[in-house]
Amino acid sequence: MGLDAKIAGGVAALLISAAPAFADPVFEAIALPHLAGVRHGLNADSTALGFAPLPTGGGRGPALIHRDGKVRVLELLGPGAFPAALNDAGDVAVDIQPGGPCRTEPAEIVCTRRALVWQALAGQEPRVRELGTLGGPRSFARAIDGTGKVAGWSDLDRRTGSATGAAFVQRAFMHADGRMVELPGLGGEHSRALAMNAKGEIAGWAMDAQGRRRAVLWRDGVARDLGTLGGAESEAQAINSRGHVAGWSLDARGRRRAFLWRGQGMLDLGTLGGGQAEAAVLVGNASIVAGSAENAGGERRAYFWWDGNELDLNQLVAPGYTTPAEAAFLSDVVAINDRMEMVATLSAGSSRDGSLRFVKHVLLMRRGTR
């Protein structure tokens, strides 16, 4: 029996016993068959944000939200929309390409991109609120809070690099009260905001004066370099309501490692026996981190960290749950909410030999009962 038929009704139980605080809860794996991919979008009522698969395979179809087995296409956005984040009110941070495909002009390719908020108003037609740019042709939305504040990055109206390879300088922004504000950097050219909490604290990365990418926390208008795990570069990808930050950092051996920052330096979250890991999401009110990590065989696996316990979600699948050959394992946790629901992707192949590929199957991991 194929995976879609196996779990379309919401079937497989997952048992977690490695972390004592969970007291052996049970998870159900529920298929989200209409989603080809999910961004960091899973709100408190289990609404998942993503995009539809294209019939021809590859690429992104229409942006949509999935809740209780029902799908709603995000009207007014058109093709090429990139849905990035949603809040509990159902507002979606997204960026679109309003001019269609990039235009080829003498000596360069010209593209426009615009960050915006899609809102579904009760009893009314949905509306789109465009956020503008910091002076250049493009802006990209990546985070939204409960009040509709948005963070991301935008081109400035100036370039860096050689005449033949010049690129727009990109800076992190916060958009609030109808205004886009550039966030301070760390002395380098580029920066990007990737996550935001309800307090308006923002996490992402910024280049320092040496051109190195560094994990950064923006708080009260100040950029704080969060350091590294011994290597040159790092990137923050998630922030929770306590101001804890998670992401990845290079260690002294040049390996990409998952970190958690709680105000007093980075904590290396370990791996599943391999060399590398990356923290992608963080529970809003607790230091519970998820993402992906290598196992001892160098294979990428969905990864869950809590209070010193590193868990491979693949090992938590109850007997009787199987996946087809084309979707052999859970490779990533890409979204999580405060109810400890997670969205994970199924993949095939190996990261070691370069054959790793993501397939169409997306699962919602929901805590249930025995």
Confidence (pLDDT) at 368: 52
- Examine the pLDDT at 133 and tell me if it is beyond 80: yes
| pLDDT of 6 | 32
Q: Is the pLDDT of residue 78 over 80?
A: no
Rounded average pLDDT over 51-57: 71
pLDDT of 358 reads 60
Q: Return the closest-CA partner of residue 76 out of 59, 58, 88, 64.
A: 64
Query: Taking 80 as the threshold, does the pLDDT of residue 60 lie above it?
Result: no
Between residues 47 and 7, which one has the greater pLDDT? 47
The mean pLDDT of the chain is 82
Give yes or no for residue 247 having a pLDDT over 50.
yes
Count the Cβ atoms, other than its own, within 10 Å of residue 135.
Answer: 16
End-to-end CA distance of the chain: 24
What is the mean pLDDT of the segment spanning 211-217? 97
pLDDT of residue 323: 58
Give the C-alpha separation, 187 to 308, whole Å.
35
> What pLDDT does 80 receive?
78
pLDDT at position 8 over 50: no
Q: What is the mean pLDDT of residues 129-133?
A: 95
- The pTM of the full predicted model, rounded to 2 decimals, is 0.86
pLDDT (0 to 100) of residue 18: 31
Torsion of CA 308, 310, 313, 316, to 10 degrees: -70
Residue 98 has a pLDDT of 79
